Amino acid sequence: MENKLKKNEMKALNNVKYNQTIEFKNKPVINGNYSVVGPKEGQGHFGKFFHYVMKNDLFNEKTYEKAEKKMIEKALSGAIHSAGLKPEDIDLFLAGDLLNQIISSSYAARSFDIPYLGLFGACSTMAESLAIGSCFIDGKYFDTVACATVSHFSTAERQFRFPLELGNQRPPTSQWTATASGSTILSLKGQGPRITKATFGKVTDYGISDVNNMGAAMAPSTMSTMVAHFKDTKTKPEDFDLIITGDLGKIGSEILIDLMEDKGYKLGINYCDCGQMIYKEKQKPLMGGSGCGCSASILNSFIINKLRKKEYKKVLFMATGALLSTTATQQGETIPGITHAVVIES
Amino acid sequence: MENKLKKNEMKALNNVKYNQTIEFKNKPVINGNYSVVGPKEGQGHFGKFFHYVMKNDLFNEKTYEKAEKKMIEKALSGAIHSAGLKPEDIDLFLAGDLLNQIISSSYAARSFDIPYLGLFGACSTMAESLAIGSCFIDGKYFDTVACATVSHFSTAERQFRFPLELGNQRPPTSQWTATASGSTILSLKGQGPRITKATFGKVTDYGISDVNNMGAAMAPSTMSTMVAHFKDTKTKPEDFDLIITGDLGKIGSEILIDLMEDKGYKLGINYCDCGQMIYKEKQKPLMGGSGCGCSASILNSFIINKLRKKEYKKVLFMATGALLSTTATQQGETIPGITHAVVIES
């Protein structure tokens, strides 16, 4: 009996290794999640699913940067609370955001007394943190890990494009950075949806240099990671209840569908993009939402809800990042993209 | 026999978990390392140990940012070559740097066709990447992982302080951002020094707001991680041949020695700081070197050399990061620090 147990445990610990994909034998459980969004996002399609809708974009702070920090702090503490835990129960905090030196995440980490690893993957951060966090849990390095990310329309516009006060007109290909944050708690034990696989993406660049066309810049990297995932795991688009990217927007999603078709994969009605769905048409989002908080907030509300209720059985969550830098752009560089993926099963 | 083997393997896989420290049972091997530095660093104390000294700060590129990207690319390919491997043998690239959107690392990742995780830990990045990379190797998620970081004096000054063209005078507490890069290859198999433990740091802030006094901003976080390491592993300063921080500089090291004494630990002559040592006194570095490349280049040349020759048996490498942001500073924020640590044994 003892030997049998050991054999099973051995098997459990012997991780199957693919090319870019890891299959988790101990399948980390999502036992806590929380989402915080701004007023505009609260009026969008997912308004009633978000846990907390801010009354104003400043979140009663003096600057948008301070508001952004407060949002990720609220998302993190909400997720910890929803898991029935206390901050001291969290072994590690994995987070990143769009701001230079990821200040929202780092200052939030200062507020909680938890070991912290700062990440930068632009809008791919939610999947990056879940993929790394899942390895830490699956490998039994930590019992409980918190993952989080945040973005804010006003801080992102100021940093990457123009300050709002300038009143610039937005070109038709532009996306609207969501004011949103999401946090997930991963544990070795508990009941709930589980992360079963993670695919680590490669930096991919098809030569887009237009800072107002992020969807086109990111789509090739999403195709690269999606093809790697399907090949590594011998799956196809039909094997998932939902394949969700975040955030390619309208143009980017269409490019992805075309790119995937070129590779022999047909994305059907089970494919959606968070950026394309977060706002209602009357909110005039142009190509849709973007920002790492967009997919993070939808994942940590609507999608995880559906997984908990077993209305979704298997979801491929792909967070897509545009590695946009104003300095590099000014020096003639194009915008590379990166996409990481995790599979969540109910 | 078979059972015995399984028992041993089981034991090997059952990772001992401490509070902030992970002890690796499969002890990842350092089987490749490389360092690239600028001309000033080449004239410093470690000049003859660095693998490659650039003839000029621009590295024959048009901008300092492009030079910085070329440096990390050279460090990465040098490390891969020194391990007797090819880029396609590397399963994952873990990197970060000081520039906004970690462009040096992300654009370098674009040049190599390797799955990539972007990190941001300011000058703590070398230890952060080694700590995460070691978990990936130890947990058998990947066979071979590359870790790297880079910094450049001219890009850092432009981004964090003043453009060089302004000719600003440097205050006496300031440190000199090293133009340097280092890369390490970690594998499950092979001969060489091994990473045996990693301690994940917490964001710590004692209220320093002077952007020209980074050492003082970082020292409290270094104390926090060092005390956690000693307590978690039941060790003391005398147990190491070398305890090396990077980069507190002169003031920061003195503050660390005082802070550790308050906690009951006496740091003796086996304690050094990379920033304090990289330049010669006649080079007028004021408080010493800084930048994530400073400790990365010294680790990946002098220190790993000494470990290979078994002149050092056990080294505690602590990379210290100041989470400095010009936006946050302008909004009245203080500068938090974070320090991650790894133990390397010969």
On whether residue B228 sits in a domain, the answer given is: yes
Residue with tokens 């990190």: B119
CB contact under 8 A, B115 and A331: no
CB A323 within 8 A of CB A338: yes
Chain B residues whose beta carbon lies within 8 Å of the beta carbon of residue A327:
65, 99-100, 103, 159
Where among B168, B187, B206 does a domain terminate?
B187
From B14, B110, B324, residue closest to A336, measured CB to CB: B110
Same domain, B202 and B181: no
Give yes or no: residues B221 and B180 share one domain: no
Tokens at A148, concatenated: 């989080």
Choosing from B156, B171, B187, the residue where a domain stops is B187
Is B4 part of any domain? no
**Residue A134 and residue A242 in one domain:** no
* Residue where a domain terminates, one of A163, A187, A211: A187
Q: Domain tally for chain B?
A: 2
What integer pLDDT is reported at residue A3 of this predicted model? Answer: 38
Q: Give A221-268 pLDDT, tens digit per residue.
A: 999 999 999 999 999 999 999 999 999 999 999 999 999 999 999 999
Percent of chain A at pLDDT > 70 equals 95
Q: Which residue of A has its CA nearest to B121?
A: A118
Task: Give yes or no: residues B201 and B179 share one domain.
Answer: no
> Do both B129 and B239 map to the same domain?
no
Nearest residue on chain B to A139, judged by CA atoms?
Answer: B139
| Closest CA in chain B for residue A21 | B141
Question: How many other C-beta atoms lie within 10 A of the C-beta of residue A280?
Answer: 12
Residue B3 lies in a domain: no
Burial of B3 (0-12, 13-18, 19+ CB in 10 A): exposed
Kindly determine whether residue B118 and residue A121, on different chains, have CB atoms separated by under 8 Å.
yes
Q: Do A10 and B6 touch (CB under 8 A)?
A: yes
Contacts of B189 (CB under 8 A, 6+ apart): B29, B143
The CB-based long-range contact list for B163-171 (8 Å cut-off, 24+ gap) reads B170/B212, B170/B286, B171/B212
Would you call A7 and B10 a contact, using CB atoms and an 8 Å cutoff? no
Q: Is the domain of A280 the same as that of A309?
A: yes
**Does residue A111 sit in the same domain as residue A198?**
no
b/e sequence A248-279, b meaning 16+ C-beta within 10 Å: bbbbbbbbbbebbeeeebebeebbbbbbbbbb
Q: What is the ipTM of this complex?
A: 0.93
- Per residue in B191-229, pLDDT (tens digit) is 899 999 999 999 999 999 888 888 999 999 999 999 999
Range of the domain at B293: 194-345
Of A14, A92, A331, the CB nearest to B63: A331
pLDDT (mean) for A163-192: 91
* CATH code, domain with B231: 3.40.47.40
Q: In this predicted model, what pLDDT tens digit does every residue of A59-116 receive, in sequence order?
A: 999 999 999 999 999 999 999 999 999 999 999 999 999 999 999 999 999 999 899 9
Asked if residues A180 and A44 have their Cβ atoms less than 8 Å apart, the reply is no
A176 and A199, same domain (yes or no): no
Residue A69 β-bridge partners: none
Task: Give yes or no: residues B104 and B211 share one domain.
Answer: no
Write the DSSP assignment of A131-167 as a string of letters: HHHHHHHHTTS-SEEEEEEEE-HHHHHHHHS--GGG-
Same domain, B239 and B101: no
In this complex, the residue of A115, A328, A336 whose CB is nearest that of residue B200 is: A115
Kindly determine whether residue A101 and residue B201, on different chains, have CB atoms separated by under 8 Å.
Answer: no
Is residue A229 a contact partner of residue A221, using CB atoms and an 8 Å limit?
Answer: no
Say if residue B327 is in the same domain as residue B242.
yes
Cβ pair B218, B320 in contact under 8 A: yes
Give A341's strand partners. A199, A318
DSSP, res A240:
-
Distance from CA of A17 to the nearest CA of B (A): 6
- Is B5 a member of any domain? no
User: How does pLDDT run across B44-103, given as a tens digit for each residue?
Assistant: 999 999 999 999 999 999 999 999 999 999 999 999 999 999 999 999 999 999 999 999
Query: Model pTM?
Result: 0.93
Residue B141 lies in a domain: yes
Q: Which residue on chain B is closest to A121 by alpha carbon?
A: B118
Same domain, A16 and A148: yes
Identify which of A280, A318, A304 has the alpha carbon closest to the alpha carbon of residue A192: A304
